């Protein structure tokens, strides 16, 4: 009887031991909130670089629409890259070897973007330059990181540099641009008192916040603020500005069409005050109402009127090809390719990890859009052009008062 009890006790102990072990292996099914917590809230570890990387082909991809509704942006990106690769290869390339570009028309759609990136990755390109359109900017990011392929978005305003170790952005940083423009307004133009007018749209709200921070930084004052949801709000905004004088300039955060409507209403009310604003105002539209806002100061990421020798050669070459001056998107695509090509040449390799480090080491690079440095987040750091709206003989024009070149 004693032996039976002892054996039974051992059996029960084993059942308990293995049973508990199996019970511990069971896990409750994850809820939607659990998945969101893991994917969105918790920071994801960067993909580790392989210990030994293979050399890639001396090829750079370009992805963007050249057909469809956003084709203009894709064409400008391609034009800038084509000019850059021609200049780089004519100057000797990489130790005498030429870089080849492979273009993909993603038609501004999801499917062709994925197929195009798959194709470029299979071609073993060392890098891809994306046009500043939605699918060409965001869709390639995950695929670029997963395949350890350098990706640079040329001209997008969205901060995508933090999207992974192989992702970069070449675009004028808005906060730095607003900061340097207000510095110029205060210290050079003698503007101390401002009104801020914000068109209630996403990008305009960002621009407005950048200017607000800069005004406080440089010890200036905001006399009044106005918000435009539609053109019907403009009279009340102008009335508030007239009641809160003195105002040296009106910081206008919004597009050029709304700005023109605003300026026309200013003129009708007898108000003549310069505007201060971002690149959205760098258009002929504002020049058409220049009399009312003469002396306005704006920032821009590029100006075809720059007399910097390298920029001048670029502008002249583009005019010869297209019969018109290049846009900011052509210029930023040109510089994006040159940043990649220079990194390949400097590190002496097409291994993505090494090229990535070469890009991150970019410092005081003399681009056609200015002096460029890359920060640790993969974002380009450069200063803006500062332009003044002036009367030149019988017409109004934008005159460069400060360039981003050193």
Separation of alpha carbons 240 and 228, rounded Å = 13
pLDDT of residue 49: 52
Quote the pLDDT of residue 320: 97
> What three-state secondary structure class fits 149?
coil
The whole-model pTM stands at 0.86
The CATH number, out of the four listed (3.40.50.620, 3.40.50.300, 3.40.50.2300, 3.40.50.1220), of the domain defined by the range 59-172+309-374: 3.40.50.2300
Q: What burial class does residue 242 get, using C-beta atoms within 10 Å of its C-beta: 0-12 exposed, 13-18 middle, 19+ buried?
A: middle
Cβ(355)–Cβ(343) below 8 Å: yes
Cα angle: 93, vertex 95, 100; to 5 degrees: 40
Strand 370-374 relative to strand 365-367, pairing: antiparallel
Intrachain domains 59-172+309-374 and 175-300+386-402 with the same fold: yes
| Pair of tokens at residue 322 | 């297209």
As a CATH number, domain 175-300+386-402 is: 3.40.50.2300
Q: CA torsion 310→313→316→320, rounded to 10°?
A: -130
Greatest Cα pair distance in the chain: 119
Q: Which two tokens stand for residue 280?
A: 């959205």
Both tokens of 264, joined, read 């026309």
Give residues with Cβ within 8 angstroms of 367, minimum separation 6. 334, 335, 338, 339, 382
Whole-angstrom distance between the N-terminal and C-terminal Cα of the chain? 98
The whole-number mean pLDDT for each consecutive block of 10 residues of the chain, a chain of 406 residues, reads 42 38 39 37 46 89 97 98 98 97 97 98 98 95 96 92 92 97 98 98 94 97 96 95 96 96 97 97 96 98 97 98 97 98 98 98 97 96 98 94 94
Structure tokens at 146: 């997963």
Q: Which two tokens stand for residue 29?
A: 């099914």
Hey, where are the domains in the chain? 59-172+309-374, 175-300+386-402
């Amino acid at each position: 009887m004693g032996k039976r009890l002892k054996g039974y006790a051992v059996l029960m102990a084993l059942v308990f031991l293995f049973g508990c072990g199996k019970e511990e292996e069971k896990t409750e099914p994850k809820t939607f909130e659990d998945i969101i917590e893991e994917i969105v809230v918790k920071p994801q570890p960067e993909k580790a670089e392989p210990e030994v990387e293979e050399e890639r082909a001396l090829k750079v991809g370009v992805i963007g629409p050249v057909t469809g509704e956003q084709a203009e942006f894709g064409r400008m990106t391609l034009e800038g890259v084509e000019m850059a690769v021609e200049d780089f290869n004519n100057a000797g390339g990489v130790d005498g070897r030429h870089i080849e570009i492979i273009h993909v028309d993603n038609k501004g759609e999801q499917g062709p973007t994925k197929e195009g990136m798959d194709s470029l990755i299979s071609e073993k390109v060392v890098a891809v330059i994306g046009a500043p359109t939605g699918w060409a900017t965001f869709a390639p990011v995950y695929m670029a990181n997963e395949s350890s392929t350098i990706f640079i978005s040329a001209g997008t305003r969205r901060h995508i540099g933090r999207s992974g170790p192989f992702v970069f952005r070449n675009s004028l940083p808005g906060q730095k641009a607003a900061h340097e423009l207000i510095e110029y307004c205060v210290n050079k133009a003698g503007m101390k008192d401002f009104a801020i007018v914000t068109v209630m749209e996403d990008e305009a709200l960002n621009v407005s916040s950048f200017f607000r921070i800069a005004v406080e930084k440089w010890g200036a004052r905001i006399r009044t603020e106005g918000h435009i949801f539609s053109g019907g709000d403009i009279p009340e905004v102008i009335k508030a500005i007239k009641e809160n004088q003195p105002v040296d300039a009106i910081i206008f955060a919004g597009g050029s069409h709304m700005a023109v409507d605003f300026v026309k209403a200013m003129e009708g009310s007898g108000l003549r005050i310069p505007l201060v604003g971002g690149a959205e105002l760098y258009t002929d539209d504002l020049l058409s109402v220049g009399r009312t806002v003469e002396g306005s100061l704006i920032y821009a990421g590029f100006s075809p009127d720059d007399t910097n020798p390298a920029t001048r050669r670029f502008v002249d070459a583009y005019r010869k090809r297209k019969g018109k001056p290049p846009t900011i998107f052509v210029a930023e695509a040109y510089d994006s390719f040159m940043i990649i090509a220079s990194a390949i040449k400097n590190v002496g390799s097409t291994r993505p990890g090494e090229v990535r480090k070469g890009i991150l080491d970019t410092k005081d690079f003399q681009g056609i859009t200015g002096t460029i440095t890359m920060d640790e987040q993969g974002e380009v750091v450069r200063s803006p052009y500062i332009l003044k709206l002036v009367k030149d003989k019988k017409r109004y024009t934008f005159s460069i008062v400060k360039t981003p070149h050193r």
